[in-house]
Each structure stands twice: as C-alpha cells, then as structure tokens.
Amino acid sequence: MTPCKSRSSEGAGETPAIAPYQPLVTNIFTADPSAHVFNGKIYVYPSHDRDEYFPPDDDGEQYQMKDYHVLSLKDFDSEVIDHGVALSVEDVPWAEKQMWAPDAAYKNGKYYLFFPAKDYEGHFRIGVATSDKPEGPFTAEKDFIEGSFSIDPAVFIDDDGQAYMYWGGLWGGRLEKWATGEYNADGVGPGADEPAIGAICAKMTPDLLAFEMKPAQVQILDENGEPIVAGDEDRRFFEGPWMHKYMGKYYLSYSTGTTHRLVYAVGESPMGPFVFGGQILDPVQGWTTHHSIVEFNGKWYLFYHDASLSGIDAQRCVKYAELFYNEDGSIRKVKPE
C-alpha cells in the first residue's frame, strides 16, 4: 500500500498530535526508532522503509532502505514533524545499500548519526555522520568505523562522559559469521546448549568517530548466573540492542528475533555482565521488533514499530507507549492496544 500523505511545511510532513500505540507518521513507512531528547524536544531517528516490495529471505533482502528521515515533537500533544531526508546512501562514499536501523548522540557541540549499511564487498559496516542540528542534514565520514561489522548500532553516553557503542544482529546482521572478529562465510553460531552470541560492545573515543578498544561480546546471564544459551529463544539476544540507565543500574534491552519479544537484562556496569530481567513488549504485528527507551519530562517512554500500517513486514510504522517500573526496578510489560 502507499502510505497516506500528511500535511507539509516547507517540504516537511506533519501529522496531528499522536496518542499511544498509534503511528507517529503515516506519510512514510518508518521502523527501528531511536528516540532522544535534544533541546527539550523528542527527536526520533528511524529507518525509512521503501514503498516498494522486495522478496523476503533470511538475509534481510526485503529491507532495502536507502535514506534516513528525522522526526521531532515538542511533546505528545503537539504535531510530529518529518524533517525530510537527513542522509542518503548516495552521500556515503563507502556504502552501497541497505541503510538499516540508526542511532544518534550529542557530544562536543555536534550531533552524531550512527548507521549500518552494506559496503561494496557486501558486508554490513557501521558509519558515522555529523551535523550542527539534531534534524540534520548530516555529513558522513569518508569511511566506516574501523573494526565495525554487523548492524543496529546504539550509542550510550554515561554520566562520566564515556561513550559506548552496542550493536549486532543474527541472520541478516550476520553476527554469527563474525565470531572470531573476522568474517567467516561458513559461520553458523553456537549449538542450542551453548552460550548464545551476545551483543557487541566497545568504548568509543572522545570524538565518537572510532573505537578505543577491541569490540567484545557482552554476557547475558540467567537468574542462576549461567549464560543464556542459544536455544533459549525467548531470552537470547538476536538484534536491536539498546542501553539506558535507571536508578544507577544499566539496562540492556534487545529483540529475541524468532519469538518476536522485546526483553531486557540489568547490570552494574555498562559492559556487563547483565542478568536477564524479563519481557518489555508483547509481540506485535510483523516479524521484526526494534525499539528505544527514553526519559522525557519525568516519564519514561518506549518507542517501537509494527506492520499495522501496511500489513507488510518490510513496510512498518513507529509507535510509542509510556513505560513503567516497579519499585524493585523491574520493567512492567507493555501490552500494545
């Protein structure tokens, strides 16, 4: 289907105030929302699904995104503004195609857009682009981050100013083929009873343009302190890592992939280990599940996507819901309406 068109303002689409569990915008297909608060507003950095059909496979060829838009809203009673194209694959020297789930950050007086794309050798790498405005447009660095691979970057800046990047995804993200740090086309990942592959983490340099350490897997443990195993598909990591901090604890949340859950684990350090905490979101319409968690005006919010706008897995829409914690720090599960 073709998404309905919203009103436009100087080339940017707008929609009325948005209620929870409803699409933020309907003028374009959006997914993989990375939400941040900059200058007192919420900015959402989603991927931009194309209004074309591509045959699906386990390598993600149905997701042929080629640019990024930035959305913003003053609050949840105001209009959502689509600021238009912030970065296109044509503007990235090293990237050939598939501009998948991005993230953003602010530091050093600059706004940073982190994004995965396939290079001309067919490997996903992670790039960086910068702007002096949160909505862009963004200017990409000439090359991808050295040592990067796979998909779904999420950058967390701790209270001390140290930045960490989390990333990775199985199947289309091919994380199982990078187990040694080098690409192995025949890599299949661990057996069902072996520790699952975790998200990858690395400290970033102060300029947010490189890693200052060799990337390493983060460990996700069960309630007994044992590693979550690969066959535990309700709890093991699949893709879409996100980090946030609440009451001094570090919350690593992620998608389980095949069981379509958003779940979380809690740690004392940004690099783990993390102990599995529970489920955040019931499965939604569509195969993929990808999210972000952000605090705004004293409340917490979950941003996520589903395929309710189109009924097609690769043509999705971004939504939000308020997020609540219990007194012990556990997260109450969100049940989409």
Distance between CA atoms of residues 184 and 173, nearest Å: 13
Distance between CA atoms of residues 31 and 33, nearest Å: 6
Distance between CA atoms of residues 318 and 291, nearest Å: 9
CA dihedral 19, 3, 292, 160 (to 10 degrees): -100
Strand partners of residue 115: 127
Active site members: 32, 239
* C-alpha neighbours within 13 Å on the C-beta side of residue 11: 6
The strand order across the sheet containing 299-306 reads 291-296, 299-306, 317-323
* C-alpha neighbours within 13 Å on the C-beta side of residue 297: 8
Q: Structure tokens of 7?
A: 């009103």
- String of b and e for 150-174 (b: at least 16 CB within 10 Å)? bbbbbbbbeeeeebbbbbbbbbbbb
Phi/psi at 46 (5° precision): -100, 170
